[in-house]
């Protein structure tokens, strides 16, 4: 199971990016932004599973990343990837960190999101 700190450590090491917390109302929602254009390439949120259509109200951490439109459908066939919560569902997906075994499973998705939002 991945933790948000695993993602924070990775993006800090790879992209020299630290999370920022833009909403006082949602203090655990962390945006991952480019340094130059300030665009998000990731958003980590703690939400309840029912927000993704999972029949449970347990709180989970999710990572939203941007993906190529042509891959969105096939990505969502993975057991821990869902239509994006709180983002454009045509361009973004939500990855349930609590269901993801290790960072290797999502490094390429983070890299693609970083590239697509450059």
Distance CA 78, CA 63 (A): 14
pTM, rounded to two decimals: 0.95
Domain count for the chain? 1
Q: What is the mean pLDDT of residues 53-66?
A: 95
Specify whether the CB–CB gap between 45 and 29 falls below 8 A: yes
Domain hosting 42: range is: 4-116
- Asked if pLDDT for residue 79 goes beyond 90, the answer is no
Give the number of other Cβ atoms within 10 Å of residue 29's Cβ: 17
pLDDT tens for 96-114 read: 999 999 899 899 999 999 9
103: CATH: 3.90.1150.30
Residue 30 has φ and ψ, to the nearest 5°, of -115, 120
- Asked if pLDDT for residue 6 goes beyond 90, the answer is yes
pLDDT at residue 86, rounded to an integer: 84
């Amino acid at each position: 199971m991945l933790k948000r700190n695993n993602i924070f450590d990775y993006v800090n090491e790879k992209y020299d990016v630290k999370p920022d917390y833009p909403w006082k109302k949602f203090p655990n929602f962390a945006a991952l932004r480019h340094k130059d254009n300030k665009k998000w390439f990731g958003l980590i949120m703690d939400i309840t599973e029912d927000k993704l259509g999972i029949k449970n109200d347990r709180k989970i951490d999710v990572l939203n990343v941007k993906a190529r439109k042509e891959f969105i459908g096939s990505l969502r066939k993975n057991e821990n990837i869902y239509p994006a919560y709180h983002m454009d569902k045509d361009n973004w997906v939500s990855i349930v960190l609590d269901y993801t075994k290790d960072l290797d499973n999502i490094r390429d998705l983070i890299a693609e999101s970083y590239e697509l939002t450059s």
